[in-house]
Amino acid sequence: MNKKKIAAGIAAGAVSVAAAGWTLTTVLPGAVSQTEREPRLFGSTYMTRNNPFFDVLHESLEEVVEENGDILITRDPLQNQEKQNEQILEMLDEGIELLFINPVDWEAVQPAVDACRERGVPIINIDTRLKDQDAVVSCIETDNYQAGQVCAEDMMKRLDSARIVILDNPIQTSITDRVQGFLDTIEGREEYEVIFQQAGAGELEVSAEVIAGFLKEDREFDVLFGGNDPSALGGLSSLQQYKKDENVLIYGIDGSPDFKAMLEMGFVTGTSCQSPRSLGRTAGETAYAYLEGEEVAKYISLPSSLISRENLNEYEINGWQ
C-alpha cells in the first residue's frame, strides 16, 4: 500500500472538513468510561448488507461506539424501504438515542425520519443522502460527483469516441450523483454517446440481469459504467457469459477488493475508490462531537480518486481503503 497516497487522501479530506468548521483529527473531549455512566444505545441501518462495503463501514462505526463504552445495534432491510422504515421504528421502541442511517430510498424513508424527529432522536446520515436534510445532524459521504467525473476523464483519455452503457439507481443519491458527474464530464462531446441507461439497483445480480437483457438487442458498445462496483461486476458477468467482454472498458465506483482483483486480472478498467472505514469512523466521531455539545459540519465530503490497472500496485488489493 502506498502510504503517501493514503496520507494525501486523508489530507484532502481534512481540508474539506476543516473548511466546514470541523476536523477529522479532533480528539473527542469529555469521553467517559462505562463505569461513570450507563452505556448509550445507538441504532444503525444500511440499505443492504449484501455488499461488503457496508460491513466494513459498520465495523468501523462500531469500533468508535464501543471505544466510548456504548452499544450499537443494526438492522438489514435487504433493499426494501418499507422494511427499513419498520426496523427503524423497532429500534426507536428499543430506546436508541441516535440513529445512523443509509437509506434504501432517499424519499420513501421519510416516515421513519419523521418518527425520529417526533421522539427527539438525532440522525447521522451516511454515504447516500436523505431528501430531508433539515432532519439530519450531519451527512457524511464520499464526493460522489467527483467519483463519476474521474471515471469519465479516464475513459476520454483511453478512447477518442465511445458508445456508453450506464447502470444507475434513481432512488439512491450516491449513485445518481456519480452518474451526473460522469454525464456532466462528457456533456457537449458528441463523440461520447450514452446509448443505454437503466437501474441496476446497486446489486450484482440485478445488474447482471439488466445487461443480459440489453445484450440480446445485439447493440455494439465500448464502455460500461456502473454506479458502484457490484453493478459493474454484474455487467461484467453477463458480458463474459455472452462472450462480449472483449474491448469493453468497465468502470465501477467503490474500490472494493473484488473489483481490484478483477483489475489485477485485466477484466475491468477502473474504479473510483471510497473508504468505508473513513466513512464509518467519521460518522461515529461526528456523532460523539455532537453529543458533547460541539458544533459539527452539516455536510462532510471525503475525496475520491481512480484506481486503474496503471496504479493498482499502490493499493491493497485484498482490503478496503
User: For 264-291, how does the pLDDT look when each residue is reduced to its tens digit (9 = 90+)?
Assistant: 999 999 999 999 999 999 999 999 999 9
Tell me what the pLDDT averaged over the chain comes to.
90
Tell me, what's the pLDDT at 50?
82
Count of helices and strands (H, E) across the chain: 10, 12
Confidence of residue 160 (pLDDT cuts 50, 70, 90): very high
CB 115 within 8 A of CB 93: no
pLDDT digits (tens, 9 = 90+) for 10-56: 334 433 333 333 333 334 444 444 457 899 999 999 999 988 899 99
Average pLDDT over residues 186-209: 97
Sheet holding 223-226, edge to edge: 192-199, 162-168, 223-226, 249-254, 270-273, 306-308
Percent pLDDT > 90 in the chain is 87
Percent pLDDT > 70 in the chain is 89
Least confident window among 31-40, 59-68, 247-256: 31-40
CB 166 within 8 A of CB 214: no
Confidence of residue 95 (pLDDT cuts 50, 70, 90): very high
C-alpha 91/C-alpha 93 separation (Å) is: 5
Tell me, what's the pLDDT at 14?
37
316 by DSSP, 3-state: which?
coil
Tell me, what's the pLDDT at 25?
36
40 by DSSP, 3-state: which?
coil
Average pLDDT over residues 86-108: 97
Average pLDDT over residues 108-122: 98
The DSSP code for 134 is: G
Tell me, what's the pLDDT at 36?
72
Nearest to 211 by CA among 245, 255, 261, 181: 245
Nearest to 272 by CA among 53, 58, 60: 53
pLDDT for 236 beyond 80: yes
Which pTM was predicted?
A: 0.83
CB 145 within 8 A of CB 134: no
